[in-house]
Structure 1
């Protein structure tokens, strides 16, 4: 028996076909095309297919697939990977209890993002994860969000913080922060829903989850993938929610705001923002040096925040551009 025939016998059950398709993030019609031979799954899809298989059929399907592809010969189909390891959760809690206040945000977010990348993109097909946080209120209202700590696997760079931007109502992150509800877009190129989003380079699908505490919001965790419908499986969305909750431990209570205070503006697109960030590190250093000669000495995090506020003010005062097209 060939693997296509075996898969066909499994998905002849319509409910099982739909479950498997949802689990691996493809359309049910795609499964039928694999069975008929109209198309073949990519190595990544083959591995996802095995992980979605019911236990009784996994080994047999893997044996059949190994006859036509070496990419599945060493697949680990342990379903425990669908949950955040308990040992790691304890590691984050220990960090929360022991790390000094000044280092807590950076240390915990880096720790969580590194583990999230390992678990959500184990085959390194390409993912970016960024912590997006609210800028301080202006006249009592929050006008924009800023990308903060970010990590990625190729084709994204390892550290994304140097490419951080300000986001507003035009972005998926902005929409999720305002609504306080997780949203995912399976195909940014053909997205026709109400969700606004700029599509960055390499980005094919995306998901954002609000960072919440006591019904208040601090921003969101934003994830992008090079793969179509990568965040469609419910198991993957559950991991996104879990890692977002862990990221929330990096924030202080004062970092969370009543959703009624979120009144985001439309921020300029990345190409227009970039010039305002040129020399950012030099300006931060200059602020610190100037403060060193006075009694009001400021830390690097405070100097960075002041620079972000200056950039936000400049961007908010720019005239609106007709090129702010939405995806």
Structure 2
């Protein structure tokens, strides 16, 4: 028996096949192709596979791999794949130290999201990651959150910022920001967790992790996957926590708020919000142009924030019958 036949015996059980595929971040059909010989796993795929299969079968598979590769060490289980690379952490710290304040948020968040996508979705099965940040307080309280920098792999577009919306108590991001605790939903359609969430197109599972500093919160990192229970494995959740901590370095200290100041409203659904974002870029540009004739010239992030606040006010002032529920 070679390693392909042995793997075939393991994944002959459909539920076990789906579990292993989810664990290593590939489609279940990919496992079948490895078994049939249509394709072969790369070394990092095989290491993930060795971690995912039951312990009693792991040694046998590794022994069979000796006949497949002249260097079986290629497939030794490498725990470094479950950790954020040290070199990348140093790059983020260097960026934090050297990038001007005005560019820091955009630069660091994009750095972190790009690396997170590479590590959390190496096979490109479909993932979206968005930085969700608190809107400035209204009457001393945070009433909503805004989706900010976001990146994704197909079927999501590369840059998700143009599709950003306001989120509130009805969302997983809102719940996590209020509770200051990571939460994940393995199946958004069934959602037996009783956590608040709405399902966007292509999204099957999701996780959100609060962005914290000194027991204060600035929002959360929100991740979506096309795969069922993709964020179930603890190793993957650990990576989510790590990348969230790196994202926190992009924020100013005054952008973190005491949890008791978070009092989110229920925001209208995406379809209702969209009309308020039509012409968003044009309005931001006009604010910047108008400010050029005044003493205080607005930079793009400042103008965007003012426009977001205008939209938030309009949505919060909608009559109750125009809001969900």
Specify the SS of the correspondent of 2:320. coil
Q: CA deviation at 1:58?
A: 4.0
- Gaps of at least 5 residues in structure 1 are 12-16, 27-39, 67-73
- Pair 1:322–1:289, CA change in 2 (3 A): closer
Unaligned runs of 5+ in 2: 35-44, 69-73
Is 2:45 aligned against 1:42? no
Aligned to 1:98: 98
What is the Cα deviation at residue 61 of structure 1?
Answer: 6.1
Query: 1:253 maps to which residue?
Result: 253
The 1-side partners of 2:318 and 2:76 are apart by 52
Q: Show CA shifts across 1:159-193 (max 9, x none).
A: 00000000000000000000000000000001132
Paired residues in the alignment total 296
TM-score by length of 1: 0.83
C-alpha RMSD of the superposition: 2.8
Q: Deviation at 1:3? A: 1.8
- Shift of the 169–312 alpha-carbon distance from structure 1 to 2, 3 Å rule, reads same
Alpha-carbon contact 1:23-1:235 (below 8 Å) kept:
no
Aligned twin of 1:235 = 235
2:316: which partner in 1?
316
Indicate yes or no: 2:296 matched with 1:296: yes
Using the alignment, how far apart are the partners of 1:201 and 1:261 within structure 2?
32
Equivalent positions of 1:43-192 (< 5 A) are: 43=30, 47=45, 48-53=48-53, 54=55, 56-60=59-63, 78-192=78-192
Displacement after TM superposition at 1:208 (Å): 0.2
Aligned-partner Cα distance in 2 for 1:138–1:216? 18
Please report the TM-score for the alignment, with normalisation by the length of structure 2: 0.83
Tell me the secondary structure at the aligned position of residue 43 of structure 1: helix
- 2:6 corresponds to which residue? 3
Which 10-residue stretch deviates more, 78-87 or 149-158? 78-87
Q: 1:62 to 1:183 in 2, by over 3 A?
A: farther
